């Protein structure tokens, strides 16, 4: 997308907008504000090829994904913000979780009218195109109230969907399946953290079955479906509680409950739950910096960013401002961990700086926009994290500085209070 979405900290650039007259706080008027903000869409006329600069992020503060929107193959790289190596003494690294692919059999030929968008008003991603006379539509969202990523595929012709759904574990666990049209991956990390991800499929008409993928794992095959709904969730056994040794409910149990609840609800109900929850936060603020020309607004995002170097585009500025709020809502919700160096989106098991919590400025920058842009609730994960690691930091501080009161933390840390890079001793003061 060419926005620097690999670092949520870029939101600091938006602070220059905070004191201008065009910024309105609209508590209790989320639906009204959203209805007036139809321009808040990031869109393009081509599928994403690169993770960092083109794929669109979705998230609910705990799980999230980067959506590519290909015609022949859909690809969603997914994460769970709690999937970490390391412990109380070793920082470790924030881990990639895996990838979901859907390979479409009836995708021969060139698609026309391709459109891919992320609507910041409702946190819904859409892909539409026409292929061989059939109009295809996909919708994606990551729900906080229902804790699932939902992907809905429809078409203008019955029986238009055939293909295979695949999961890939970033830690090489085999894909298994069950008789409930569900694929799953499960394993554990070097620190003993257990994880699982599951994708369950419901089709309208047509057939579906779990088959061998020819590589020792399983895949799900769909034939001649009118529409497809994919329910996806991921989890670990992490608990933000040192007294419980950072261990909580087994991921298999968590996911079973999540999918059992989500799959009995209609798509419309899941979508409405998601939008209502999201807009209760996002819809509080409107930023008016002026209008861009109709010619500029008709350009895809990659072209607008290029042209911004030489053309005035005030609505692009307000779009980026609201995109910063979207990222914080999507990566920091009550009950979860705080946004890390990359929010919660990460495709690598060895990301830059471990995609950790940088206490010398970066984690603070993630949250600079929370209060001025009326997202106070998104602050809770940061505050809860500080409380959770205090005892660890007291013990470790006493070992290094016997007799001192209180605790401190250095630059690079993790959810367990472990740290590395022995510099910037007073990190806690930040």
State pTM to two decimals.
Answer: 0.92
- Domain count for the chain, please give it: 1
Q: How many Å apart are CA 218 and CA 185, to the nearest integer?
A: 10
Structure tokens at 45: 């006329």
Per-residue pLDDT at 2:
52
Dihedral (C-alpha) 82, 95, 4, 426: value to the nearest 10 degrees? Answer: 70
Q: What is the pLDDT along the chain (430 residues), one digit of tens a residue?
A: 555 444 444 343 333 333 344 555 553 444 434 334 458 999 999 999 999 999 999 999 999 999 999 999 999 999 999 999 999 999 999 999 999 999 999 888 899 999 999 999 999 999 999 999 999 999 999 999 999 999 999 999 999 999 999 999 999 999 999 889 999 999 999 999 999 999 999 999 999 999 999 999 999 999 999 999 999 999 999 999 999 999 999 999 999 999 999 999 999 999 999 999 999 999 999 999 999 999 999 999 999 999 999 999 999 999 999 999 999 999 999 999 999 999 999 999 999 999 999 998 899 999 999 999 999 999 999 999 999 999 999 999 999 889 988 899 888 999 999 998 767 777 776 6
Q: How many other C-beta atoms can be found within 10 angstroms of the C-beta atom of residue 394?
A: 16
Distance in angstroms (rounded) separating the CA atoms of residues 430 and 428: 5
Query: Which CATH number fits the domain that encloses residue 237?
Result: 2.70.98.50
Q: Is residue 64 part of a domain?
A: yes
Tokens 């499929």 sit on residue: 201
Whole-number Å distance between alpha carbons of 413 and 51: 25
DSSP-derived secondary structure for 335-366: TSPPPBTTBT----SS-GGGG-EETTTHHHHH
Task: Characterize 118-134 residue by residue with b for buried, 16 or more Cβ atoms within 10 angstroms of its Cβ, and e for exposed.
Answer: bbbbbbbbbbbbebeee
* Residue 19, pLDDT score: 37
Print the domain residue range for 266: 22-284
Residue 246 lies in a domain: yes
CA distance 359 to 7: 14
Whether residue 212 lies inside any domain: the answer is yes
- What is the rounded CA–CA span in Å between residue 30 and residue 401? 50
What is the reported pLDDT for 39? Answer: 80
Domain membership of residue 92 (yes or no) is yes
Report d(CA 182, CA 167) in Å as an integer. Answer: 11
In a domain, 424, yes or no: no
Q: What tokens were used for 64?
A: 């999230």
- Cβ atoms of 227 and 157 closer than 8 Å: no
Distance between first and last Cα of the chain: 32
Is residue 335 domain-resident? no
State the Rg of the chain over Cα.
22
**CA count, 13 A, side-chain hemisphere, 214:** 2
User: Of the candidates 390, 389, 394, 398, which has an alpha carbon nearest to the alpha carbon of residue 416?
Assistant: 389
Residue 398 falls within a domain, yes or no?
A: no
Task: Tell me, yes or no, whether 229 lies in a domain.
Answer: yes
C-alpha 31/C-alpha 301 separation (Å) is: 25
Rounded CA separation 85/346 (Å): 14
């Amino acid at each position: 997308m060419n926005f620097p979405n690999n670092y949520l900290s870029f939101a600091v650039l938006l602070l220059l907008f905070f004191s201008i007259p065009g910024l309105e706080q609209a508590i209790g008027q989320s639906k009204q504000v959203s209805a007036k903000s139809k321009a808040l869409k990031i869109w393009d006329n081509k599928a994403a090829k690169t993770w960092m600069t083109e794929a669109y992020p979705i998230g609910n503060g705990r799980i999230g994904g980067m959506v590519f929107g290909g015609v022949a193959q859909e690809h969603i790289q997914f994460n769970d913000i709690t999937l970490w190596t390391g412990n109380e003494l070793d920082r470790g690294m924030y881990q990639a979780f895996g990838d979901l692919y859907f390979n479409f059999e009836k995708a021969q030929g060139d698609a026309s009218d391709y459109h891919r968008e992320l609507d910041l008003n409702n946190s819904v991603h859409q892909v539409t195109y026409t292929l061989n006379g059939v109009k295809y539509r996909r919708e994606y969202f990551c729900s906080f109230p229902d804790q699932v990523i939902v992907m809905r595929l429809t078409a203008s012709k019955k029986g238009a969907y055939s293909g295979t759904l695949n999961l890939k574990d970033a830690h090489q666990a085999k894909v298994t399946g069950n008789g409930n049209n569900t694929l799953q991956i499960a394993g554990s990390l070097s620190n003993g953290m257990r994880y699982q991800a599951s994708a369950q499929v419901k089709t309208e008409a047509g057939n579906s079955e779990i088959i061998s993928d020819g590589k020792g794992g399983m895949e799900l095959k769909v034939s001649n479906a009118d529409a497809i709904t994919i329910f996806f969730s991921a989890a670990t056994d992490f608990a933000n509680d040192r007294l419980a040794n950072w261990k909580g409910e087994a991921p298999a149990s968590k996911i079973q409950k999540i999918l059992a609840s989500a799959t009995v609800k209609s798509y419309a109900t899941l979508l409405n739950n998601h939008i209502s929850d999201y807009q209760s936060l996002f819809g509080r603020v409107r930023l008016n910096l002026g209008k861009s020309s109709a010619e500029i607004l008709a350009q895809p995002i990659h072209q607008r960013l290029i042209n911004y170097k030489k053309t005035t585009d005030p609505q692009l500025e307000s779009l980026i401002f609201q995109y910063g709020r979207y990222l914080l809502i999507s990566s920091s919700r009550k009950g979860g961990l705080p946004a890390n160096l990359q929010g919660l989106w990460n495709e690598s098991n060895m990301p830059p700086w471990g995609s950790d919590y940088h206490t010398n400025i970066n984690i603070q920058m993630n949250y600079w926009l929370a209060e001025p842009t009326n997202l106070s609730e998104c602050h809770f994960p940061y505050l809860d994290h500080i409380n959770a690691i205090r005892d660890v930091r007291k013990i470790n501080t006493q070992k290094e500085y016997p007799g001192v009161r209180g605790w401190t933390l250095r630059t690079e840390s993790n959810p367990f209070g472990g740290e590395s890079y022995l510099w910037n001793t007073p990190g806690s003061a930040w």
